[in-house]
Amino acid sequence: TYIIAEPCVDVLDKACIEECPVDCIYEGNRMLYIHPDECVDCGACEPVCPVEAIFYEDDVPENWKDYTSANYEFFEDLGSPGGASKIGKIEKDTPFVAAQPPRGE
């Protein structure tokens, strides 16, 4: 799977959503999360993120490894919705992401 990391927090550019052929990038309060079971590793989202927040799972920088867990954790109570557009924004973040200091200008 691909993972969204810290640069997305409080930015939520959403260019990635347009690219995903399986609609597996879900919106939380402060960032977006890729569903690890629904992502087909096409990689289309990665180059379009203007803040370079998206990485292949094995390539997530060491200091952002907590975001790998966050992308998995986000879906623990959601299961596999099978499409982000039909459920829209999800009013939560993982505790790790919720605890991040505010980012952005």
* Residues at the interface with ligand F3S (CB under 6 A): 2, 4, 8, 11-16, 19-20, 22, 24-25, 32, 34, 39-45, 49, 51, 53-54
Could you give the CA distance from residue 7 to residue 3 in angstroms, rounded to a whole number? 12
> At its nearest, how many Å lie between ligand F3S and the CB of residue 43?
5
Could you give the CA distance from residue 64 to residue 102 in angstroms, rounded to a whole number? 16
Please compute, for residue 2, the number of CA atoms within 13 A of its CA located in the half-sphere on the CB side. Answer: 24
> At its nearest, how many Å lie between ligand F3S and the CB of residue 95?
19
> CA-CA-CA-CA torsion for 72, 30, 57, 63, nearest 10 degrees?
-110
> At its nearest, how many Å lie between ligand F3S and the CB of residue 31?
6
Residues with Cβ within 8 Å of 40's Cβ and at least 6 positions away in sequence, in order, are 21, 22, 24
Q: Among residues 25 and 97, whose Cβ is nearest to ligand F3S?
A: 25
Q: Among residues 95 and 104, whose Cβ is nearest to ligand F3S?
A: 104
> At its nearest, how many Å lie between ligand F3S and the CB of residue 38?
7
